[in-house]
Amino acid sequence: MDCGVVYKRPKEISYSIYEVRLMELNDLYWSMEVIPGVDITDKGKRHPFQRHFYMDIYDRLFSPLKDKPIKIFELGISRGASIQLWSTFFKNGVVSGLDDKVPPRKDYLDTLPNVQLAYANAYDEKVADKIIEHFPKQDIFIDDGLHDIESQKFALKHYSKMVDKGGMYIIEDITPPEFQKLLYCRSELHRRSLMEIYDYTQRDNAMADDIMLVLQFEE
Ligand SMILES: C[S@@+](CC[C@H](N)C(=O)[O-])C[C@H]1O[C@@H](n2cnc3c(N)ncnc32)[C@H](O)[C@@H]1O
């Protein structure tokens, strides 16, 4: 461990409480080992420069699901830091991901027992059809890919089909002026969903696209 809550825990706290505390995704994020070449995800403030405020939301959304056999799919692997985080957190789950570039530490990511990664251009219709067929009934889908509005619309239209009833579809890094286009696209999905929007753009040290959208599909 390099730093964070777990590292600082007083010795007298028993091992079982230590285990319980690790249920919190945020604690895991702040305490997990940084693998050289995999690094740390920019979803939270532990990232050295390009960091967002999303880890608190993920903590609230994902911590109750920790022990369930969750199927989670992320578009955008980069160095694999978020894949490593989901894989460690959802021990009973299956973590899948897609990127058009092979990560530098593919060798390490391939050793994670519950991870399946694919490499192709996510915004190609034929690729999307294959991915949807190969990775059905996901409980969680995260769009952390290209981040421009056209790619976000493409992903929402296609990859939301992979999300099971009761599942959630999450879009990170939305640019404010284009936001309405995503809302319109959502209305074309013909699936009922609850929508939550987290806008951190007015916070100190926020990034211009520090907006996250969460769609919760009905059961
Ligand atoms: C912000 S990074 C993902 C970060 C990662 N999810 C994390 O939290 O550590 C965005 C990723 O989208 C990928 N990407 C960009 N264009 C893509 C495309 N056409 N198809 C698939 N992935 C793409 C990039 O290669 C990059 O790895």
Q: Per residue in 73-90, pLDDT tens?
A: 999 999 999 999 999 999
Q: What is the pLDDT of residues 148-191, one digit of tens each?
A: 999 999 999 999 999 999 999 999 999 887 877 888 888 888 88
Query: In the chain, what are the domains?
Result: 39-217 (3.40.50.150)
Q: Looking at ligand 1, which residue's alpha carbon is closest to its atom 27?
A: 78
- Please indicate whether residue 101, judged by its CB atom, sits closer than 6 Å to ligand 1: yes
Nearest to 138 by CA among 60, 217, 82, 198: 217
Phi-psi region of 4 (alpha: psi -120 to 50; beta: other; left: phi over 0): left
Q: Which amino acid is at 43?
A: K
Q: What is the pLDDT of residues 15-26, one digit of tens each?
A: 344 444 445 898
Ligand 1 probe mutation, 29, 78, 148, most atoms within 8 A of CB? 78
Q: How many CB atoms lie within 10 A of CB 185?
A: 17
Q: Label residue 1 by pLDDT band (50, 70, 90).
A: very low
Pick the atom of ligand 1 nearest to 41's CA: 9
Distance 194 CA to ligand 1 centre (A): 26
* Of 44-58, 115-129, 140-154, 155-169, minimum mean pLDDT range: 44-58
Q: How far apart are CA 99 and CA 106, in angstroms?
A: 12
Q: How many CB atoms lie within 10 A of CB 147?
A: 15
